[in-house]
A and B are shown apart, each in its own frame.
Chain A
Amino acid sequence: EVQLLESGGGLVQPGGSLRLSCAASGFTFSSYAMSWVRQAPGKGLEWVSAISGSGGSTYYAASLKGRFTISRDNSKNTLYLQMNSLRAEDTAVYYCAKDPGDGYNSPLNFDYWGQGTLVTVSS
């Protein structure tokens, strides 16, 4: 059974940093691309970033302007999102999502999702 468990969310002041983690199990982690997708309170879905199965290719939403960095440790079956210079508008539930492909050419869609971790940026 595929399981994705996010952690690392919480309350952070504007300008602060946070690192999210997503522990994966139930599939061959290194064979699949992974993404982070966020959802602001009461709003729709916004794709944040993706990384190929090998970690060699990364993709980002342009709006992040270099503030976020996605990475993975295939030996630990874990996906990460380093978030810097956080702003109030980054407040959202952050979901880790599995891609049905390896992401070598491009990420696709999301066949499994974690339950999400809430990030609140506020003073």
Chain B
Amino acid sequence: DIVMTQSPDSLAVSLGERATINCKPSQSVLYSSNNKNYLAWYQQKPGQPPKLLIYWASTRESGVPDRFSGSGSGTDFTLTISSLQAEDVAVYYCQQYYTTPLTFGGGTKVEIK
């Protein structure tokens, strides 16, 4: 199984500041035949189901604010919130879909400082 390691477990960021979350798969999720990284990011607010933010590591889902961006390749990925808003308080998860079983990172809780 591909183990997804997220860091940090939690972070507190001031409103308007940048938040950065890291995700490291235990093996590469870059598929060489199409040069795509099989990695997604989700946001989960309390009492709600997760919401897809980013897929193919850097493609923003329709309707997701452009302050959210994904980057990285292979075994090193980052989700960046460029200017944290109050509504961004949530837990964020990365997920690989390079192979089954599909696996998620442990989550990163983002709070307001």
What is the interface of chain A, defined by CB distance below 8 A to chain B?
Answer: 35, 37, 44-47, 50, 59-62, 95, 100, 106-116
Contacts and interface: CB of A to CB of B under 8 A. Distances in A.
Contacts of B32: none
Contacts of A60: 101
B25 interface: no
B69 interface: no
Nearest to A109: B40
Given A44-B106, A46-B104, A50-B102, A113 B50 contact: yes
Contacts of B105: 44
B97 A108 contact: yes
B49 A109 contact: no
Given A45-B93, A110-B95, A111-B61, 16 more contacts: A37-B50, A44-B106, A45-B104, A46-B104, A47-B103, A50-B100, A50-B102, A60-B101, A106-B100, A107-B97, A107-B102, A108-B38, A111-B52, A113-B49, A114-B49, A116-B49
Interface residues of B, number: 23
A106 B100 CA distance: 7
Contacts of A37: 50
Kindly name the residue among B38, B51, B52 whose own CB sees the greatest number of chain A CB atoms within 10 A: B52
A81 to B, nearest CB: 15
Interface of B is mostly: loop
A43 B86 CA distance: 23
Interface string B42-76: 10100001111001000001000000000000000
A106 B98 CA distance: 9
11 contacts: A35-B102, A44-B104, A44-B107, A47-B101, A59-B100, A107-B100, A109-B52, A109-B55, A110-B42, A113-B50, A115-B49
Nearest to A96: B49
Contacts of A110: 40, 42, 50, 52, 95
B87 interface: no
B1 to A, nearest CB: 7
A62 B101 contact: yes
A63 to B, nearest CB: 8
B57 to A, nearest CB: 11
